[in-house]
Amino acid sequence: MMKTKQIRKKDIRRILVIKMRYIGDNVLVTPLLKALKNGYPDADIDVLTNKGTHQVFSGNPFVRDILPFDYSVSKEKPWYALRFIARLRHKAYDMAIDLTNNDRTSFFTLMSDARLRIGYETRHFFRNRLSYSIRISSRLGILHMTDRHLEVAEALELPVEDRHPFIHVSPEKIREIEDILSVSDVEKETPFVVMHPGARRWYKSWPSDRFAKLADAIIREYGVTVILSGSAADQPACSAIRENMEEQAVSLAGQIPLSALPALIRKGLCLIGNDSAPIHVASAGSTPAIALFGPTEWEAWAPRREHDKVLAAEFPCRPCGHSRPDCPLGRQDYCMSAITFEQVWAAVKDTLTKAR
């Protein structure tokens, strides 16, 4: 049990926060960053994260430095990791906070040589006794992930003013996305809905024919543009939707860098998407999110601002991790298909009626 009164705020001048997961995970760290900066106003806060997801923290007013770690380079060049660790130690952190809780991040926490090393209680002796000087009881899967991160602030007896994630969107990024949209004949003042059909796993995706039917209904009912977003890997999903549509949607899959995605979503009337990073980006940027969840523990990940809407397929086998097409419900009847078009359309109508 940590004795927080022994930690003098004036002694904490350099803080390292470690979150080496995916884009959405990084977004949900931002309330903790704010709480840390408010609690230690004179401290510099750095974030160690995966290269490729680090841009989420660009422009964050509470972050001094972003330290992206490149796994692919570390596998080919062992000296890369050694130099990275040397860089961490050179920064002389007073506090290191491991929010990821795996072997690699616990090792980085230990190697940071910070006097205070905070992590979650686990059954692993190495992590508990060597990596962390302060351990917090973990309630993974029970708490919302944002609240789980904020357990660190509560353990440090820091006030928590805001439990909503946030992302900085600069005027420059707004202009950048407007330029990208103009190439597809979407003018600056054109109202649009962002639809993100991609997901990290097939079984977390709502059927493409329903996305197509929904896009047609939005265009016909509200006369707004539908923009399909995603990475290059999401191009097949976006193409399948367009092929099933009777109206015309604009696909920007593979054309929008991660750094500009928050600006696109910020300009949208709402974001409709599967359990993936864009729903968190939307909620962090105050754009209404309509989030579709299936096999995961949506209670721990769902956007939760007042204007957000969550539609979840409730099955007793949830959560699961079927990475191959072996869902016992079958490819055609897997859990996401239990979310009907009518349910999502009702959520969209309520959102767009309030947004216009």
The reply to whether 145 falls in a domain is yes
The reply to whether 161 falls in a domain is no
Q: State pTM to two decimals.
A: 0.91
Same domain, 123 and 175: no
The reply to whether 246 falls in a domain is yes
Same domain, 190 and 335: yes
Same domain, 136 and 280: no
Q: Which among 30, 94, 98 is positioned nearest to 63, based on CA atoms?
A: 30
The reply to whether 162 falls in a domain is no
Same domain, 241 and 148: no
Looking at the structure of the chain, the number of domains it has is 2
Q: 321 burial class (0-12, 13-18, 19+ CB within 10 angstroms)?
A: exposed
Q: Which pLDDT value is given to residue 2?
A: 46
Place of tokens 């299936």: 294
pLDDT in tens, the chain (356 residues): 444 445 677 889 999 999 999 999 999 999 999 999 999 999 999 999 999 899 999 999 999 999 999 988 988 898 999 999 999 999 999 999 999 988 899 999 999 999 999 999 887 777 777 899 889 986 666 789 999 999 999 999 999 989 999 998 999 999 999 999 999 999 989 999 999 998 877 778 999 999 999 999 999 999 999 999 999 999 999 999 999 999 999 999 999 998 899 999 999 999 999 999 999 999 998 899 999 998 888 888 999 999 999 999 887 777 776 555 566 666 666 788 899 999 999 999 999 998 76
Q: Which of 95, 128, 155 is the last residue of a domain?
A: 155
Instruction: Look up the CATH number of the domain holding residue 8.
Output: 3.40.50.2000
Q: Which of 109, 126, 155 is the last residue of a domain?
A: 155
Q: Is the torsion defined by CA of 265, 267, 268, 270 positive or negative?
A: positive
Q: Which pLDDT value is given to residue 305?
A: 94
Residues of the domain holding 222 = 171-355
Q: Which pLDDT value is given to residue 333?
A: 64
The reply to whether 252 falls in a domain is yes
Q: What CA–CA distance (Å, rounded) separates 258 from 177? A: 11
Same domain, 116 and 199: no
Strands (E), 7-51: 14-18, 44-50
Same domain, 198 and 303: yes
Residue 339 is inside which H or E element, if any?
none
The reply to whether 270 falls in a domain is yes
Same domain, 206 and 114: no
Same domain, 112 and 67: yes
Same domain, 175 and 130: no
Q: What CA–CA distance (Å, rounded) separates 62 from 140? A: 26
The reply to whether 207 falls in a domain is yes
Same domain, 75 and 181: no
Q: Which pLDDT value is given to residue 326?
A: 62
Q: In what order do the strands lie in the sheet with 44-50?
A: 65-69, 44-50, 14-18, 95-98, 116-120, 134-136
Same domain, 19 and 89: yes
Q: Which of 121, 155, 189 is the last residue of a domain?
A: 155
Q: Is the torsion defined by CA of 187, 192, 197, 200 positive or negative?
A: positive
Q: How many other CB atoms are found less than 10 A from the CB of residue 44?
A: 18
Question: Would residue 72 be called left, alpha or beta, if left means φ above 0 and alpha means ψ between -120 and 50 degrees?
Answer: alpha
The reply to whether 15 falls in a domain is yes
Same domain, 57 and 97: yes
